[in-house]
Chain A
Amino acid sequence: MKLTSRYEQTSCRLVLEGLPDLSAGQSSQTIGILTGFSLALAGKTELEGQRDHLQALLNVVLPYARGLISGVARPQGAQDVPVVIRPVDGQHELELRSSQPNTPPLRLPLDDAELSDLVRCLDRLQLDPQVAVPLEWPAPQPLRRSELRHRLPLARRVAAPLTGIAALLVAGVLASLLPTPKPPSSAPAAVSTPSRGG
């Protein structure tokens, strides 16, 4: 018996189709084996794929959303993966690469609202107790200092070290202008007096 699970959020509709994995002891209402999924994004082509494509989608979309919530829009997805997401002109672009040779990749522009709709659908899928398909979900982690660095504009980042260097240089120049204290005239005499003892 084929089961379907739908997740809808304004501009996004994600539908999973599958079968219960009765051999794994799952209930007959739980999708354990994914036979396919479809994803419709408002005004754009409806996409269809298998488990690997769904895994590739959440592998890039969730870390991208994780970066964005900290104000860091970093492209996600390597050269050889089927799904890539990157920031373009203040929006986002989802690129889907076909496994068929000589098929150009499909590029879908998403605005902030459409991206958060997609993220909500994926979140709901992750927490759905009726779906037990083996998928790996990237756990959100705090970003390191190096990952956050480009969030601040260059001028503000270099302002503190440049001020420090400038202050040091000014202090150095001023210090070099101060007259060197002359050695006390009596001191050398006292030092050079040979002691003739013994």
Chain B
Amino acid sequence: MADAPVQPQRALSRRGVERLDLLLLSAEALDLNGGEAMVWLSEEMGLTELFPNRVELWKRRCSNPLRRTTRRDRITEAEADGLIRILNALADRLYPMLRSLLSSAEPPQLSEQRWALFRGRLQELLKERFNPRRGGVQRLLDPQEGPQLCRELIQTMALSAGPGGFTRLKASLMDAAA
């Protein structure tokens, strides 16, 4: 059976680009080699025309307005699809880790340690690359609100993994502005 297409076809909103880049950053926080894995997966999936090298890949991610160094040019639909495909493949590779974070069957102490490790790495990456004056970044760094937002990121990644993940995530990134 064919993969159901997402309709209508259009580019991502500003909020969609923010979420997509945050999810890619979460993949980097889960996997220390996440940045390299992205470049490798992009080549593996034949996306070299869209992202010829790691600098181009990084430049596309910098369309995120939450970044310290943000680029004003909008990301095209083909580029957004390429980044969603990379995230889909990364989430698939990381699925066992995502699953163990989300599972309530894991020992609570071990689970809490894993969450603390993920949140710590994500916060380091956020402080390094994102603009700390933006509300969206502050909420992620907030000790009260941050943990719930981190859980939402991991849940989104888990549901973005696998064969149906691409269309589901793409539809979600094209949500109306809340």
Q: Which one of A124-132, A170-178, A187-195 contacts B?
A: A124-132
B97 shortest CB reach to chain A, Å: 11
Q: What 0/1 readout, one digit per residue, does chain A (135-158) give for beta carbons within 8 Å of chain B?
A: 001011111110011011000000
Cβ of B164 and Cβ of A119 under 8 Å apart? Answer: yes
Cβ of B176 and Cβ of A127 under 8 Å apart? Answer: no
Nearest residue in A to B160 (C-beta to C-beta)? A69
Q: Which one of B58-66, B73-81, B151-159 contacts A?
A: B151-159
B-chain residues with CB within 8 Å of residue A113 when the two chains form the complex: 99-100, 102-105, 158
Q: What 0/1 readout, one digit per residue, does chain B (86-105) give for beta carbons within 8 Å of chain A?
A: 00000000010011101111
B161 within 8 A of A: yes
B-chain residues with CB within 8 Å of residue A151 when the two chains form the complex: 178
B-chain residues with CB within 8 Å of residue A129 when the two chains form the complex: 1
Cβ of B176 and Cβ of A111 under 8 Å apart? Answer: no
A68 within 8 A of B: yes
Cβ of B99 and Cβ of A66 under 8 Å apart? Answer: no
Cβ of B7 and Cβ of A139 under 8 Å apart? Answer: yes
Count of chain B residues with a beta carbon within 8 Å of a chain A beta carbon:
36
Nearest residue in A to B101 (C-beta to C-beta)? A113
Name the interface residues of B3-36: CB closer than 8 Å to any CB of A.
3-7
Cβ of A65 and Cβ of B178 under 8 Å apart? Answer: no
Cβ of B164 and Cβ of A145 under 8 Å apart? Answer: no
Cβ of A137 and Cβ of B1 under 8 Å apart? Answer: yes
Name the interface residues of A112-130: CB closer than 8 Å to any CB of B.
112-114, 116-117, 119-120, 122-124, 126-129
Of B95, B102, B162, B175, the residue contacting A124 (CB under 8 A) is B162
A70 within 8 A of B: yes
Cβ of A112 and Cβ of B175 under 8 Å apart? Answer: no
B-chain residues with CB within 8 Å of residue A145 when the two chains form the complex: 176-178
Of B102, B152, B163, B178, the residue contacting A123 (CB under 8 A) is B163
Complex CA distance for A10 and B103, rounded to whole angstroms: 11
Q: Which one of B47-55, B114-122, B123-131, B165-173 contacts A?
A: B165-173
Complex CA distance for A198 and B95, rounded to whole angstroms: 99
Cβ of A69 and Cβ of B99 under 8 Å apart? Answer: no
Cβ of A128 and Cβ of B6 under 8 Å apart? Answer: no
Cβ of A112 and Cβ of B162 under 8 Å apart? Answer: no
Given contact pairs A131-B1, A142-B175, A143-B175, A69 touches B102 in the complex (Cβ within 8 A)? no
Cβ of A127 and Cβ of B7 under 8 Å apart? Answer: no
Q: What 0/1 readout, one digit per residue, does chain A (59-97) give for beta carbons within 8 Å of chain B?
A: 000100110111100000000000000000001000000
A148 shortest CB reach to chain B, Å: 4
Of A68, A114, A139, A142, the residue contacting B159 (CB under 8 A) is A68
Contact residues of B with A, CB < 8 Å? 1, 3-7, 95, 98-100, 102-105, 152, 155-156, 158-165, 167-172, 174-178
List 4 A-B pairs, minimum CB-CB distance, nearest first: A123-B164, A113-B103, A140-B171, A112-B102
14 sampled A-B residue pairs with Cβ under 8 A: A62-B164, A69-B168, A111-B102, A111-B103, A111-B104, A113-B105, A116-B99, A120-B95, A123-B163, A129-B1, A139-B167, A140-B168, A142-B171, A148-B178
Q: A122-B164, A132-B1 are in contact. List 4 more A-B contacts (CB 8 A).
A: A116-B98, A116-B102, A120-B162, A123-B164
